[in-house]
Amino acid sequence: MAPWSGLWGGKLAAGGGGGGGDHYRGTPVVVKMENPNWSISEISSPDDDDDEEFLVGGRRKGGRGKNAKQITWVLLLKAHRAAGCLASLASAAVALGAAARRRVAAGRTDADASAAAAAGESPVLRSRFYAFIRAFVVLSVLLLIVELGAYINGWDDLAASALALPVIGVESLYASWLRFRATYVAPFIQFLTDACVVLFLIQSADRLIQCLGCFYIHLKRIKPNPKSPALPDAEDPDAAYYPMVLVQIPMCNEKEVYQQSIAAVCNLDWPRSNFLVQVLDDSDDPTTQTLIREEVLKWQQNGARIVYRHRVLRDGYKAGNLKSAMSCSYVKDYEFVAIFDADFQPNPDFLKRTVPHFKDNDELGLVQARWSFVNKDENLLTRLQNINLCFHFEVEQQVNGIFLNFFGFNGTAGVWRIKALDDSGGWMERTTVEDMDIAVRAHLRGWKFIFLNDVECQCELPESYEAYRKQQHRWHSGPMQLFRLCLPDIIKCKIVFWKKANLIFLFFLLRKLILPFYSFTLFCIILPMTMFVPEAELPDWVVCYIPALMSLLNILPSPKSFPFIIPYLLFENTMSVTKFNAMISGLFQLGNAYEWVVTKKSGRSSEGDLISLAPKELKHQKTESAPNLDAIAKEQSAPRKDVKKKHNRIYKKELALSLLLLTAAARSLLSKQGIHFYFLLFQGISFLLVGLDLIGEQIE
């Protein structure tokens, strides 16, 4: 923007600089008005002659003084920027308050019958867990009232002498409580605290070792490479490595995403005669079945080798669906099977980058690719999920794949050797984590796994807290079911001892059981209780420093998410309620631990993504038999009629815990425990926001 030579410009008359005509004094200023970021740049001018400056021999003497008007403008612009920030914060606070009022007025909670059935929990289990939390809330409120009364009356000095000096009246009751608290309550809470701290340190050490392993992999540039590289561009087609590949797309009532997944899979860069696509539709909605069947027919008419399968008896959920598909007679003609969930969109070169790893590597049973997310910036919830999953793939999967040749199969975006599946017993419907089940059984049979961190497959993240909560319940209940069933097999199998120890103590106990247990117990129960029982101490480094370090390590694989490090730490502790509940239900088979709930998809895909899925001939011509990708894009971008059926809910357990933590924060003020107060305050606010369902997708 050019300097404005108006009111503040140094505009001289034609007669010269000294005495000619009238001219304006001052410093030319460039003002960039880019709301809300205002900036001001000062440009020096030789015609500045403030009262304190004069020229001697053609040279300027002294420093150029600041123009008063320029300083005024700087202050005004900064004030405007601050006002804009305050207005934005006020607007956000008003919107948040309005959403909270609507949520409370609607009165929909997770205790509704429909929500209870969908969440995979029984009403009995939910009521018991909620009653447990509610009892702690009532107890904390009563203790806060007692401690507040003691503080007002100056009885807090009794804490030092309660064990020795007799007192009378109400003070006697309070002194008796202090003696009872110090003698019986504090040792028990301190024991639980020390036990959870030990578990916390062990888990933190495991996390640190994994991060060091990832750093070593990047430092040494370790990367899985095929033993015998394929020759896709060889002049002799027979010299290339194009084995027979079966591609499976299991889906169930996922009409939002079926078109883009089918289109992506049918455009895989692989000889059409060497791969077959199975669309495994478990939908119970006749309309969705018809739409998927018609889409398959379109691609068949276009020349794709694709078949549609629908089960009449829909037992076993996804595992039963895959098991039924593998029983087809033509499966024996194929050597490998690639699996993609309905919302996954593999790149055309996916098979070319994964299948060659199997060549001349007969011990290899699985090649797993990492996930990338099309909607990771949709809202705060998806951003926090992205941090978690980036760490899972970049660190956990990659380190375990490089050093152990074993990790949990992610259920999709992977290629299995069919012989390895058959040798491991095939798909089983005994848990809700059939992917982890088959991976553990294959590992016990001696098969090796490879994780490719540089091969990505796009998919979606749950955008609503309700959908994410259901997904996490299944992901944390299933491993405990599997642990109960697999433990005897792990002990009896003939693999080396350190592999057994890794499976039992690290894979299952530490990362699937201990992590949700101590996260919930330590930060949601024990920490608030130590505020009311000061004799039991929880060190500052457990509350603040180590969790901050662990959060920093978690966020390193996604550095752009660094501004969300504090929300991430608080949200992980908030989710420990759901994970702990799921872990207990899976371990002891409580409630509907075996309930499978399909994660709702929104079908987010740009028009460019959809058009790029079409073969070259389809981009220039449209026929009646060719899939109309323009129509797909319009359908994906159009508002859906079923959005109105969704609604946000109030989550009672999270709200109860928010009250518990905020009450403990108020109690900590009486003891002047700074770090504990701030942690409890912000953690309580986090539980409050999640309990009112204000973190994910907001349904108007």
Q: Are strands 336-339 and 245-251 parallel, antiparallel or unpaired?
A: parallel
Amino acid at 233: D
Q: Give the residue among 461, 442, 414 at the shortest CA–CA distance from 247.
A: 414
Q: What is the DSSP string of 237-281?
A: GGGS----EEEEEEESS-TTTHHHHHHHHHT-SS-GGGEEEEEEE
**8 Å CB contact between 569 and 678:** no
Rounded to an integer, what distance in angstroms lies between the CA atom of residue 161 and that of residue 153? 16
Cα 561 to Cα 387: distance, rounded to the nearest angstrom? 7
Residue 249's φ and ψ, nearest 5 degrees, are -125, 90
The distance in angstroms from the start CA to the end CA of the chain is 42
Cα–Cα distance measured from residue 601 to residue 603, given in angstroms and rounded to the nearest whole number: 6
How many angstroms separate the CA atoms of 387 and 389, rounded? Answer: 6
Assess whether 236 carries a catalytic annotation.
no
The whole-angstrom separation of Cα 328 and Cα 479 is 29
- Strand, coil or helix: 609: helix
Residue from 110, 341, 343, 435 carrying the catalytic annotation: 435
Which of 436, 439, 444, 587 is CA-nearest to residue 513?
587
Tokens 């000294």 map to which residue?
18
Q: Which of 110, 281, 282, 343 is catalytic?
A: 282
**Per-residue tokens: 443:** 């590992």
- Cα gap 625→628, rounded to integer Å: 9
Q: Structure tokens of 471?
A: 């997904």
Q: What is the DSSP string of 398-449?
A: HHHHHHTS-----SSSEEEEHHHHHHTT----SSS-HHHHHHHHHHHTT-EE
Q: How many residues does the chain have?
A: 700
HEC string for 356-399: HHHCCCCCEEEEEEEEEECCCCCCHHHHHHHHHHHHHHHHHHHH
Residue in 598, 665, 557, 69 with CA at minimum distance from that of residue 283:
598
Alpha helices in 493-526 (DSSP H): 497-501, 515-520
| DSSP H helical ranges for 588-651 | 607-612, 616-620, 629-637
Residue 205 three-state SS? helix
In whole angstroms, give the CA distance from residue 185 to residue 535: 9
- Residue 313 CA to chain centroid, in angstroms? 34
- The token pair at 412 is 């999709």
Cβ proximity of 133 and 653 under 8 Å: yes
Cβ–Cβ < 8 Å for 462, 599: yes
Q: How many CB atoms lie within 10 A of CB 453?
A: 21
Query: Which residues on neighbouring strands pair with residue 109, listed in sequence order?
Result: 650
Active site residue 435: yes
Active-site residues, by number, are 282, 435
